[in-house]
Chain A
């Protein structure tokens, strides 16, 4: 980026006209990605990742068998093939949507760095597809499956960030707000986002360490619980500082409140997921309560991460240290 800082680039964006179509399409991609995360979590909870050894097609086919629509030779979507092939179909849709978003951004978006972020998203979704294929071909090695689950969260955050950067609330001119106190909220937000990411990596490792019919590894489970404590402290601190110092600024207060609410929900889902998952080795098959709650825990984790990213981006957009503000006033 050379001498121009990211913040400087954002400020240049002020005055950029918001394109409603681009923003709506970016939102659509983010929502589709969230649905894809749910579809992927369903595959893991049902232990359906190896329902077929074939990839990228399923037994040489892509379209599902729907006799009522005249498709009689497609994939028979029964048993765990429904979850695995369904996940592949949703993933393909997200890949196509991401290509569409890149084209849309190339045509309509004036900010170079936003267009580049679109290309990064496209690279992410391609890498994610290859990791998915690799984990099937190598029969779900822990490292590759965990990398697949982790990259899914990073890709989701990229699509959410694109939706943020193309929104009216981001593009419209906003006065800078002075950071109060000696500890900058922005850095607490960054620490919270980084800790949540680590927690997602630990959670993905835990989920892929044992299938539903095996007990969870105790060391990873305790690490995940420790991570939850760390996330609660950091995200709670960030939200508390924002609500205490900038409660009249909805641009910051709203995502802080949403992040806090999602965190409480996520902690409850975590306890429920543990209770159902620890009993699942005694079940004859993955039962609905365990599947629904663990998948909800994964999905809510993605939302907590995405909301924290939004909060962090917004904090960096409007909050400035007193020193940098005074330098700017002098310059003016």
Chain B
């Protein structure tokens, strides 16, 4: 009996050590999902020709969308007073149309044979505002160009902290008390998409798409979007929506004629087209039935 115990002792110790070593050494490579080469300064600067067109479309949601979940804001009474009907904004659907989808040109070639991702575009001088109002971020999804100013405003009578968690840009975490001056930041590298959270109010989430070029849009409440000023050419257009670990993407090929308008309609939800893929490699959870959850 003691011999058997000795064997058990040795085996379990070896097993636990081996398990520890394997867990330390088995790091999964992270897919940064960065569209194309970013921050390229050597490329040619694009000059507006007057032949630019648009990419327009509607993002639909097929099937029954998940109902928004009520947020318990009792941890900060100010939030409850400011916004008594706080709920999740990950799937905002109205009449089968999806809001807050981030649509952008991922890749492609202009009519004169230049890669869109290799061209440089002037950084817009106007700033994009991210507001903290009623203890949620407004807008929920937004896009900026690399190095474009992002102005963060706190309109709430309570303190927030802004914490973007990028993969390729610099991470930062800054407190913004009520009444404090706006915070101005920018992102140097293209990244789809940077989650932004408030560590004081864990339900607060926003997503920032950072691109080297200005060809992106966020779908409105009616699911519509328009990407303006697109050089004539053939492009891969991607629609990204929040959900799962890192969102879901759909892709489409479009051709923009000189001064023309290309159509790119996307559909998420049930029976959506086959080009859907998770935007980042997701860690699968063990398949155990959930008890008592809805």
A214 within 8 A of B: yes
Would A51 and B12 count as touching, CB distance under 8 A? no
User: Interface size for chain B: under 10, 10 to 19, 20 to 34, or 35 or more residues?
Assistant: 35 or more
Once A59-B177, A79-B76, A215-B283 are accepted as A-B contacts, the answer to whether A275 and B20 lie under 8 Å apart by CB is: no
In the complex, chain A residues whose CB is within 8 Å of the CB of B26: 219
The reply to whether B16 and A81 contact each other, CB–CB distance below 8 Å, is no
| Contact B15 A53, beta carbon cutoff 8 Å | no
On whether the beta carbons of B288 and A217 are closer than 8 Å, the reply is no
Q: Does A95 contact B (CB under 8 A)?
A: no
Contact A79 B175 (CB under 8 A): no
**Restricting to B180-228, which residues have a CB under 8 Å from any CB of A?**
199-203
Which segment, of B51-59, B105-113, B137-145, B158-166, faces chain A?
B158-166
> Across the interface, which residues of B come within 8 angstroms of A195, CB to CB?
12-13, 16
**Residue A139 contacts which of B88, B171, B285 (CB distance < 8 angstroms)?**
B171
Q: Which stretch (A229-237, A246-254, A257-265, A316-324) binds chain B?
A: A229-237
Q: Is the CB of A226 within 8 A of B78?
A: no
Residues of A134-177 contacting chain B, CB below 8 A: 139
Query: A41-49, A104-112, A121-129: which lies at the B interface?
Result: A41-49
Please report the C-alpha to C-alpha distance between residue A59 and residue B163 in the assembled complex, in whole angstroms.
16
B75 → A minimal CB distance (Å): 5
Q: Does A182 contact B (CB under 8 A)?
A: yes
Question: Quick check: is A281 within 8 A (CB to CB) of the other chain?
Answer: yes
> Whole-angstrom distance between the alpha carbons of A212 and B197 in the complex?
13
Evaluate whether A284 and B16 lie within 8 angstroms (CB atoms) in the complex, with A51-B161, A233-B8, A278-B285 already known.
Answer: no
Name B126-148 residues within 8 Å CB distance of A. none
B154 to chain A, nearest CB (A): 13
Contact digits for A79-92, partner B, Cβ 8 Å, 1 yes 0 no = 11110000000000
Residues of A153-212 whose CB lies within 8 A of B:
181-183, 188, 191, 194-195, 198-199, 201-202, 205, 210, 212
A14 close to chain B: CB less than 8 A: no
Least Cβ distance of B216 to chain A in Å? 25
A227 lies within 8 A of chain B by Cβ: yes
| Contact (Cβ within 8 A) B16 A198 | yes
Centre residue among B23, B71, B163, B282 by max chain A CB count within 10 A: B23
| CA gap between A78 and B198 in the complex, in Å | 13
Is B19's beta carbon under 8 Å from chain A?
yes
Q: Which bucket holds chain A's interface residue count?
A: 35 or more
Known A78-B75, A79-B200: A275·B288 in contact at CB below 8 Å: yes
Question: B19 to A284, Cβ gap below 8 A?
Answer: no
Contact A78 B15, CB 8 Å, known A48-B199, A50-B199: no
A286 to B203: give the CA distance in the assembly, Å: 8
Complex alpha-carbon distance, A231 and B19, angstroms: 13
A52 near B: Cβ within 8 Å? yes
State the CA gap A275–B290 with chains docked (Å).
7
Q: Does the CB pair A218–B173 fall under 8 Å?
A: no
| Residues B12 and A53 in contact, CB atoms below 8 Å apart | no
Contact with B along A271-302 (1 / 0, CB 8 A): 00011001101011110000000000000000
Neighbouring A residues of B6 by C-beta, 8 Å: 182-183
- Collect the chain B residues with CB atoms within 8 Å of residue A81's CB: 159, 200
Docked-complex contact B175 and A59, CB < 8 angstroms: yes
B284, A198: Cβ atoms closer than 8 Å: no
A76 interface residue per 8 A CB criterion: yes
In the docked arrangement, what's the CA distance between A159 and B203, Å? 37
CB distance from A259 to the nearest CB of B (A): 16
Q: B171 to chain A: which residues have CB within 8 Å?
A: 139
Q: Nearest 9 CB-CB pairs, A to B?
A: A79-B200, A230-B16, A223-B23, A285-B203, A78-B76, A50-B199, A79-B76, A230-B12, A182-B2
Q: Can you list 19 A-B contacts with CB-CB less than 8 angstroms, sorted by A residue number?
A: A53-B174, A181-B2, A183-B5, A183-B6, A188-B9, A191-B12, A195-B12, A212-B202, A214-B245, A215-B282, A215-B283, A219-B22, A221-B286, A222-B19, A223-B23, A227-B19, A281-B245, A284-B87, A285-B202
Known: A79-B200, A183-B2. 5 other contacts (CB 8 A): A191-B9, A201-B20, A215-B283, A218-B283, A285-B203
